[in-house]
């Protein structure tokens, strides 16, 4: 039967039925609900009336009396149950077999527009019946009944899991389940880096703080700035005599005055020098490309990362004029704890022939770049910066228990001839006192380095290398001839000579 015919035939009966349905649906949200036990029947009555109003029925055609108004929907409900347990009328199965994806079903009669929306009232009624804080036992019994009868969509006001709207969440109880709390806490739990195994953490440190080649610690790239803003003292002067030139060392008192002028010239440019160091640090710093800020995260991480940094890297000091002074500053900066982690150091052999004056000037220039050099120098005797640095390095490296490779480099050619005393010059003139000082400092330095060779775990190695990338046949043959002389000189220091010429 068409709902429009029902509305036109008996409008009063239709309005009475509609008001009764709305009143019964809103009953469970009242403070006193004596009819709470009849809530499922109310929902079934509403559904049965909506479905039966669309199908022709003799029960709706008969004019009902007042005593039959409440019993008629129940009879319709019982007759509308199919053999599968669903509320489907046998004459309207084709209509109800359409897709039922939406969890909500509209129960209003077609052709009639309600003057007041019942969505909020229906939602309150549904949540009133499912309030497990008031009636837990009935809720459990109803759920069990639905499972037994396979009534998946028996209550079409209740949304399936995953289809709740924001209105429904506002109406649900605020008490979450313990399982949801555990799931939320597991999602919010932060992972600690220290929960990783030590081997994995060391692997991460190696990727961030190590490199294949040596780390060259050399600050000569700042030398042009100093040369352009200050007067550099000359350790020797040139004297001409009968078409010949001779080099005479500058008196030490005069050299000290020249160094004082150098320091005075650089005072106005101290800020500019620091600014240049800061700007060029990313491309000129010895550890450029490393994740050095990692060392400032925490004390524990600093200890672990610093151990990898100093143990798995090779630190090179290639400058012949300032290598030992830079190494002295380096060891004083990193401290005893990190010195114990050092594994390999490459450094140029000490060049004694340069003289005390040249070493003093080089140390003064280095003080402008590395303030740590000034703090580590200990009253050098006769202002001998090289010998003072060797003494400091020998004492400090005696605590480097993990130092396995101490490699000393020597350039093949003129430096090798000078170091082995094969090359002599008649153009350098020195006084007798300077000659005695030269012999004394060399002897003392040799004894200190031999003492260092006996202290560290492995014997130091002397490596002779070519400054050119191409190794010629003549150079290889010349090195083989000079090898015995180099070995005799290296034995004075306690070093072992590598038999191959390196490039």
pLDDT in tens, 432-454: 778 888 889 999 999 999 999 99
User: In angstroms, rounded to a whole number, what is the distance separating the alpha carbons of residues 311 and 306?
Assistant: 8
Same domain, 180 and 259: no
CA 98, CA 153: separation in Å to the nearest integer?
Answer: 14
Q: Which two tokens stand for residue 5?
A: 């015919």
Buried/exposed 421-435: b ≥16 CB within 10 Å, e otherwise: eeeeeeeeeeeeebe
Are 137 and 62 in a shared domain? yes
Q: Could you say which of 170, 188, 206 is where a domain stops? A: 188
Residue 249 covered by a domain: yes
Percent share of the chain, pLDDT over 90: 31
pLDDT reported for residue 21: 79
pLDDT level of residue 248 (50, 70, 90 thresholds):
confident
Regarding whether 268 and 119 lie in a shared domain, the answer is no
**Of 316 and 184, the one with more pLDDT:** 316
**Closest listed residue to residue 120, CA positions, set 21, 26, 215:** 26
Regarding whether 170 and 241 lie in a shared domain, the answer is: no
Could you write out the DSSP letters of every residue in 300-350?
Answer: HHHHHHHHHHHHS-EEEE--TTTHHHHHHHHHHHHHHHHHTT--EEEEEPP
**pLDDT reading at 63 higher than 70:** no
User: Which two tokens mark 29?
Assistant: 């949200």
Choose the final residue of a domain: 188, 205, 233.
188
pLDDT given at position 277: 84
CA 38 to chain centre: 63
pTM to 2 decimal places: 0.61
Q: In what order do the strands lie in the sheet with 244-249?
A: 236-241, 244-249, 428-429
* Structure-block tokens of residue 234: 């000359």
Q: What is the mean pLDDT of residues 236-245?
A: 84
Q: Which domain holds residue 262?
A: 219-285+313-497
**Is the Cβ–Cβ distance between 160 and 103 less than 8 Å?**
yes
339 & 246 share domain: yes
pLDDT at 52: 41
Token pair of 223, please? 């030398």
Does residue 114 have a pLDDT over 90? no
Is the separation of the CB atoms in 70 and 38 below 8 Å?
no
What is the pLDDT at residue 178? Answer: 62
Q: Are strands 344-348 and 405-411 parallel, antiparallel or unpaired?
A: parallel
Domain check: are 252 and 153 in the same one? Answer: no
Kindly state whether residue 297 falls inside one of the protein's structural domains: no
Q: How far does Cα 102 stand from its chain's mean position?
A: 47
CB 63 within 8 A of CB 55: no
- Quickly tell me which residue has 């919010």 as its tokens: 188
Question: What would the pLDDT profile of 4-31 be if each residue is shown by its tens digit?
Answer: 555 556 677 777 877 877 877 666 554 4
Token pair for residue 334?
């990193």
Q: Which residue, among 284, 282, 294, 283, has the nearest Cα to 206 in the 3D structure?
A: 294
Regarding whether 110 and 229 lie in a shared domain, the answer is no
The reply to whether 346 falls in a domain is: yes
DSSP lists the bridge partners of residue 316 as 216, 346
- Provide the phi-psi class of 379: left if phi over 0, else alpha when psi is between -120 and 50, else beta: left
Return the pLDDT at 44: 45
Distance (Å, whole) CA 8 – CA 477: 123
410 assigned to some structural domain: yes
Question: Same structural domain for residues 273 and 320?
Answer: yes
Q: Which of 124, 100, 120 is nearest to 33 (CA)?
A: 124
Same domain, 423 and 280: yes
pLDDT at position 180 over 90: no
Q: Assess whether pLDDT exceeds 90 at residue 265.
A: yes
- Same domain, residue pair 349 and 460: yes
- Give 359's pLDDT tier (boundaries 50, 70, 90): very high
Split at pLDDT 50, 70, 90, the class of 281 is confident
Q: Is residue 298 part of a domain?
A: no
Tokens of 313: 């890297």
What secondary structure, in 3-state letters, does 215-232 show? EECCCHHHHHHHHHHCCC
How many domains in the chain? 2
| In a domain? residue 197 | no
| 484: in domain | yes
Output the furthest CA–CA distance in the chain (Å, rounded). 149
Closest CA to 35 of 130, 131, 129: 129
CA distance 173 to 187: 23
Same domain, yes or no: 376 and 264: yes
Q: At what angle do helices 323-339 and 299-311 cross, to 10 degrees?
A: 130
Give 340: exposed, middle or buried? Use CB within 10 Å, 0-12, 13-18, 19+: middle
Q: Is residue 208 part of a domain?
A: no
Residue 247 host element (H or E): strand 244-249
Let me know whether 277 and 330 are in one domain: yes
Give residue 38's pLDDT band: very low, low, confident or very high (50, 70, 90).
very low
């Amino acid at each position: 039967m068409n709902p429009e015919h029902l509305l036109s035939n008996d409008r009063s009966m239709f309005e009475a039925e509609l008001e009764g349905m709305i009143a019964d649906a809103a009953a469970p949200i009242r403070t006193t609900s004596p009819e709470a036990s009849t809530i499922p029947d109310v929902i079934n009555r509403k559904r049965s009336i909506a479905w039966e109003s669309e199908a022709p029925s003799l029960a709706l055609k008969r004019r009902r009396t007042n005593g039959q108004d409440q019993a008629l929907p129940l009879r319709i409900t019982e007759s509308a149950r199919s053999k599968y347990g669903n509320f489907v009328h046998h004459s309207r199965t084709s209509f109800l077999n359409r897709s039922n994806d939406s969890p909500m079903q509209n129960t209003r009669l077609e052709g009639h527009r309600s003057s007041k929306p019942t969505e909020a009232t229906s939602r309150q009624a549904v949540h009133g019946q499912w309030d497990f804080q008031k009636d837990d036992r009935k809720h459990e019994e109803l759920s069990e009944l639905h499972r037994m009868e396979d009534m998946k969509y028996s209550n079409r006001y209740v949304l399936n899991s995953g289809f709740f709207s924001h209105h429904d969440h506002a109406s649900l109880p605020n008490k979450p389940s313990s399982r949801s709390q555990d799931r939320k806490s597991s999602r919010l739990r932060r992972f600690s880096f220290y929960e990783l195994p030590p081997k994995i953490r060391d692997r991460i440190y190696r990727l961030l703080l190590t490199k294949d080649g040596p780390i060259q610690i050399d600050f000569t790239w700042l030398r042009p700035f100093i040369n352009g803003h200050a007067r550099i003292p000359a350790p020797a002067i040139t004297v001409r005599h009968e078409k010949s030139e001779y080099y005479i060392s500058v008196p030490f008192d005069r050299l000290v005055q020249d160094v004082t002028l150098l320091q005075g010239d650089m005072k106005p440019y101290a800020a500019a020098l620091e600014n240049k160091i800061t700007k060029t640090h990313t491309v000129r710093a010895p550890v450029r490309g490393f994740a050095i800020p990692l060392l400032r995260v925490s004390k524990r991480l600093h200890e672990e990362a610093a151990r990898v940094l100093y143990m798995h890297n090779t630190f090179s000091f290639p400058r012949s004029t300032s290598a030992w002074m830079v190494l002295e500053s380096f060891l004083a900066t990193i401290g005893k704890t990190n010195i114990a982690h050092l594994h390999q150091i490459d450094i140029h052999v000490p060049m004694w022939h340069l003289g005390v004056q040249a070493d003093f000037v080089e140390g003064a220039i280095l003080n402008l770049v590395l303030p740590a050099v000034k703090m580590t120098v200990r009253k050098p005797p006769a202002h001998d910066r090289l010998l003072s640095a060797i003494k400091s390095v020998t004492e400090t490296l005696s605590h480097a228990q993990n130092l396995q490779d101490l490699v000393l480099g020597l350039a093949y050619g003129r430096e090798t001839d000078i170091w082995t005393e094969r090359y002599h010059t008649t153009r350098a003139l020195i006084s007798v006192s300077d000659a005695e000082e030269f012999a004394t400092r060399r002897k003392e330095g040799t004894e200190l380095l031999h003492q260092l060779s006996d202290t560290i775990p492995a014997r130091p190695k002397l490596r002779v290398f070519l400054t050119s990338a191409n190794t010629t046949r003549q150079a290889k043959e010349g090195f083989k001839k000079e090898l015995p002389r180099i070995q005799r000189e290296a034995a004075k220091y306690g070093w072992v000579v590598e038999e191959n010429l390196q490039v």
